[in-house]
Amino acid sequence: MVEAVLGLHARNDEPDAARTGPIARVEDDSGGGGPALGRLLAVATLTPAQAALLATDVVDQLELAHSRGIHPIRLRGHAVRVSESGELSMECTGTAGSWDEVRGAATELLRQITRNCRNADFADRVDEAIAGSSDLVGLARRVRHAAAKEFDPAQVERKRRQIAALVATVEGHARLEDTVADRTDISIPVSPVPPTERHSAPPMGKTWHRKRRRPFRRRGLLALLAALVLVGLGWVAPTAWVELKEGWQTLLGSGEPAMDDRISPVSLPPEAPPPTEPGVAAGPVDIALPGSAGPIKEVTATFANGGCEPGGTCAVRADVGLDPAANIGAVTWNLTVYDRCTGETRPGADITVPVSPGAPEAYGIGIVDLPPGSALAVAAVTTVPVAVASQPVYVPAETATCPPGGSGAGG
């Protein structure tokens, strides 16, 4: 099964159904869940990895809104929230007139996130990405590249859970403050105490008899210590007497020896397990296609959701660089899976992305089923207008090994 989530840079009239999947979180009203981003940043200090994930969410949301033909022009206050799953969402309040109107608000939002994590290197990389971008597509690509250096794709789910824990803490404080604020408006009636029910002052008199009835604190403490000493002596005395008697008998050599001088046999240590045979290094991926040809300048494949596991589904984003003067009309590509241990190749279903005249780039997101295996690779391969392949992305890693006895021939 292969599903595609398509986006086009040169068109703003793309239908909403063209982008579905885990990144579709743009809100159309103000009823989104979770606290506002500003409230979360005011209470908690993010780690660089958590800040990088939220920065990636910002450009994903802006790119999704751009593909739907709308721009969220209000990015402050409650318009930007963090959900209970640790993901950032935006409220679409209207359509911006130009990219400059969106860029100012997006720049302030990204810098607000990078300032919170207090990582100067990450903040500088995001500022360079903002300064070097002339459109939304370039900003998204550069910010993703800057954020990818702050976290391991295999730790994305763990970082999301950490952000969700911060959201739950902020939500808990908010509910407690709301409850206290509600209770301050409740008036508690106080009925006057009748004069007959009021307690009178204790009678005046001599105090010597009251002091004599109360035991002194020091006397009670001494009695408690004495009781503890007696209990300890009663517990230790029998054992001490037996040990003293045995030592005395051993010293004088009279009677039976108090201790058994025989040495018990010592059991042999357990046998060590046989050494396991080391794995075989996985072979390289032989795609046998050029990286550029004809109107296609470059094809790049990246994980759309941070990483993939063998035996599950894998979402991969393909970015195709085009010659604007070619006017090719559409690009067709597929996701091909390579088993680096057996050499098996599994091409996926074709995905066609329309290209507007003069567009410099087109991209799409495909989902492919991965077979079980210890060393896999996935590459984006174009078939129309020419056959070009991207560099492979490795599952689980480029340094993976094959089980003993595997061929390790590669794909």
Residue keyed to tokens 């094959």: 402
Range among 164-173, 174-183, 188-197, 330-339 rated most confident: 330-339
pTM summary value: 0.38
pLDDT of residue 89: 86
Burial class (CB in 10 A: 0-12, 13-18, 19+), 230: exposed
Q: Which has the closest alpha carbon to 259: 251, 270, 269? A: 251
pLDDT of residue 295: 93
Find the farthest-apart pair of alpha carbons in the chain and give their distance in angstroms, rounded.
113
Residue keyed to tokens 């709301």: 178
Q: What does pLDDT average to over the chain? A: 76
Tell me the CB-side half-sphere exposure of residue 228, using CA atoms within 13 A.
Answer: 6
H-helix or E-strand containing 17?
none
Give Rg (Cα) of the chain.
Answer: 36
pLDDT in tens, 32-62: 568 888 888 888 889 999 988 998 998 888 8
pLDDT of residue 394: 94
Paired strand residues for 333: 351, 382
Mean pLDDT of 304-325: 92
pLDDT in tens, 251-306: 776 555 545 556 666 666 777 776 666 778 888 898 889 999 999 999 999 998 98
Range among 20-34, 94-108, 388-402 rated most confident: 388-402
What is the set of domains in the chain, with CATH numbers? Answer: 12-173 (1.10.510.10), 280-402 (2.60.40.1930)
pLDDT of residue 2: 29
Cα 57–318–385 angle (5° rounding)?
150
Dist CA 111 CA 146 (whole Å): 13
3 state SS of 408: coil
Percent of the chain with pLDDT over 90: 26
Torsion of CA 212, 215, 216, 217, to 10 degrees: -150
> Which tokens in the block code for residue 214?
């109360």
Q: Backbone phi, then psi, for 22, in 5-degree steps?
A: -70, -15
- Structural contact between residues 377 and 395, judged by C-beta atoms closer than 8 angstroms: yes
Q: Please count the other Cβ atoms lying within 10 Å of the Cβ belonging to residue 236.
A: 10
- Structural contact between residues 351 and 334, judged by C-beta atoms closer than 8 angstroms: yes
- Structural contact between residues 151 and 47, judged by C-beta atoms closer than 8 angstroms: no
Cα 148–152–157 angle (5° rounding)?
105
- Check pLDDT > 60 for residue 98: yes
pLDDT of residue 80: 87
Q: Which has the closest alpha carbon to 46: 162, 146, 127, 128? A: 162
